[in-house]
């Protein structure tokens, strides 16, 4: 090729590489005031950076490689795959299953948002990597492996997942060592995912659904917390109890099957556990009561659920603390995660006819806070002045062969790798105080459940506005 032809071709190629480096391959779409579609693209890319096990050929995160490929070998099983939970490398089944349920809920209800953003295939792939892993964790009748790795051992290591050498024990629940909250949450995630795949792979959807039914049976028959069987209490203790997960799981099985027996089961849990009087205003990996309100309202068989859901949403907006800049402030750990969980629930309420304008406006203010209304973004790689010091081991490490250790956690330089789309924790008080500080994991850690509510709320906002 002549030099005068080659030069512009090379220039275009180099420009394209630079653009990819700047946005992770998620191009600007021109949406305003914030590019929600680009944010949703990055939110899906975040999950690729969290992948455990063998990476597929179409992997887009070039600073990640195969890791933890021997998970399950301590019990003679193949538990390779799935996702690392947050900035560390344990695979916790409880928040993973919740994340699957919320992602599937958003992809099902707000598929238009995923289509507009060009992320439908990525959304399905994100969910399927999780459900493929959960199927591996189904190691026998009413047996579920719910954790790979020990949190205490894992937290002694700061480095790349590809270079881990520590023990990664596998932990399960079964009829002798039960866990109703984990089993019912897994049932919810599987049932929700089955809805997503029913139109594209009915056989796979039915496989997920059969597994979900078995897990709800296990949960119903042995009503005790999973932390009695799996050492997750210091990390994902089921503070709200297993009752909300039982109702949540039954709701999703009714939504996926239409079988009245599951509705009756959900209603039975709602009544016997006095869920109508739950005073906590939240929706996150531990407490699904608001999700039960939303789903039972959607089913439309009894107006009492609509009334209780409306009361919940009213209390959420009028009785809770807000930061000075308008973020609903539920908890100082992952404050934006809590706010976006409630934003998504508010949109569900609006779509079900409960104060539509008010609840949609509330959700809009919460998502806008996350993506930039305070003059900076809380999403890595997105928008104006985004976080550059996310509490994330792999992103903090230089490329091999450079060493990586806790020195890298404490360094002042930005992360060498951009974990695009990762939603960080956010402010830790109502004065909106936040620092882009890697060593402050409350403010800067990312997580599977954070991005689940972020992704689904984005999809809803895009569906409604574009």
Q: Which of 48, 71, 80, 88 is catalytic?
A: 88
Torsion angle of the four alpha carbons 424, 396, 118, 462, in this order, in degrees rounded to the nearest 10: 10
> Can you tell me the distance from the alpha carbon of 308 to that of 158, in angstroms, rounded to the nearest whole number?
46
Q: Which of 389, 391, 392, 417 is catalytic?
A: 391
The conformational region for residue 402 under phi > 0 = left, psi -120 to 50 = alpha, else beta, is beta
Nearest to 148 by CA among 69, 213, 219: 69
Residue 142 tokens, joined: 């009413």
Q: Under a CB-based contact definition with an 8 Å cutoff, are residues 247 and 241 in contact? A: no
> Can you tell me the distance from the alpha carbon of 60 to that of 25, in angstroms, rounded to the nearest whole number?
9
* Residue where the block lists tokens 């493929």: 132
* Residue where the block lists tokens 């179409």: 58
> Can you tell me the distance from the alpha carbon of 337 to that of 201, in angstroms, rounded to the nearest whole number?
32
DSSP element (H, E) containing 170: strand 170-173
Nearest to 89 by CA among 166, 189, 161: 161
Task: Tell me the backbone φ, ψ of residue 384, rounded to 5 degrees.
Answer: -85, 130
Q: Is 436 considered catalytic here?
A: yes
Q: Under a CB-based contact definition with an 8 Å cutoff, are residues 447 and 95 in contact? A: yes
Q: Which of 220, 244, 278, 445 is catalytic?
A: 445
Q: Which of 66, 150, 398, 436 is catalytic?
A: 436
Q: Is 391 considered catalytic here?
A: yes
Measured at the alpha carbon of residue 309, what is the angle toward residues 333 and 453, in degrees to the nearest 5? 35
Q: Is 175 considered catalytic here?
A: no
Q: Please tell me whether residue 34 adopts helix, strand or coil conformation.
A: coil
In 276-355, which residue ranges form alpha helices assigned H by DSSP? 289-299, 303-318, 335-351
Q: Is 445 considered catalytic here?
A: yes
How far, in Å, are 347, 356, 392 from residue 344 at the CA level? 5, 13, 26
> Can you tell me the distance from the alpha carbon of 361 to that of 231, in angstroms, rounded to the nearest whole number?
41
Residues taking part in catalysis: 88, 391, 436, 445
């Amino acid at each position: 090729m002549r030099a005068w032809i080659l030069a512009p071709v090379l220039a275009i190629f180099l420009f394209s590489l630079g653009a990819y480096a700047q946005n992770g391959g998620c191009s600007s779409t021109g949406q305003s005031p914030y590019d929600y579609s680009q944010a949703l693209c990055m939110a899906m890319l975040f999950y690729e950076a969290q992948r455990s096990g063998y990476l597929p050929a179409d992997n887009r995160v070039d600073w990640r490689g195969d890791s933890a490929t021997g998970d399950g070998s301590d019990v003679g099983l193949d538990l390779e795959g799935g996702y690392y939970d947050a900035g560390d490398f344990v695979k916790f089944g409880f928040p993973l299953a919740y994340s699957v349920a919320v992602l599937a809920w958003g992809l099902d209800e707000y598929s238009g948002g995923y289509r507009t953003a060009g992320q439908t295939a990525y959304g399905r792939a994100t969910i399927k990597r999780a459900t493929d892993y959960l199927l591996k964790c189904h190691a026998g009748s009413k047996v579920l492996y719910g954790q790979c790795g020990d949190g205490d051992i894992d937290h002694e290591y700061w480095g790349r997942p590809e270079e881990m050498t520590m023990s990664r024990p596998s932990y399960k629940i079964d009829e002798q060592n039960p866990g109703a909250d984990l089993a019912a949450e897994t049932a919810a995630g599987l049932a929700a995912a089955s809805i997503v795949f029913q139109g594209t792979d009915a056989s796979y959807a039915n496989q997920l659904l059969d597994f979900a039914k078995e897990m709800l049976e296990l949960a119903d028959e042995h009503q005790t917390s999973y932390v009695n069987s799996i050492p997750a209490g210091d990390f994902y203790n089921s503070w709200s109890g297993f009752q909300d997960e039982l109702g949540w799981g039954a709701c999703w099985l009714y939504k996926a099957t239409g079988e009245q027996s599951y509705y009756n089961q959900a209603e039975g849990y709602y009544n016997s556990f006095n869920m109508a009087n739950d005073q906590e205003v939240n929706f996150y990996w531990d407490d699904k009561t608001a999700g039960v309100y939303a789903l039972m309202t959607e089913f439309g068989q009894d107006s009492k659920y609509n009334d209780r859901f409306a009361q919940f949403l009213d209390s959420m907006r009028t009785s809770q603390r807000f930061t000075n800049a308008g973020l609903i402030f539920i908890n100082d750990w992952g404050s934006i995660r809590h706010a976006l969980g409630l934003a998504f629930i508010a949109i569900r309420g609006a779509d079900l006819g409960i104060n539509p304008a008010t609840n949609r406006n509330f959700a809009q203010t919460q998502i806008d806070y996350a993506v930039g209304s305070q003059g900076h973004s809380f999403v890595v790689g997105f928008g104006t002045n985004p976080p550059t010091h996310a509490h994330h081991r792999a992103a903090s490490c230089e490329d091999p062969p450079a060493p990586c250790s806790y020195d890298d956690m404490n360094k002042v330089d930005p992360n060498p790798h951009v974990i695009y789309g990762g939603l960080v924790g956010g402010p830790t008080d109502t004065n909106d105080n936040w620092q882009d500080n890697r060593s402050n994991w409350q403010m800067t850690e990312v997580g599977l459940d954070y991005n689940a509510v972020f992704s689904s709320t984005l999809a809803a906002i895009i569906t409604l506005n574009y």
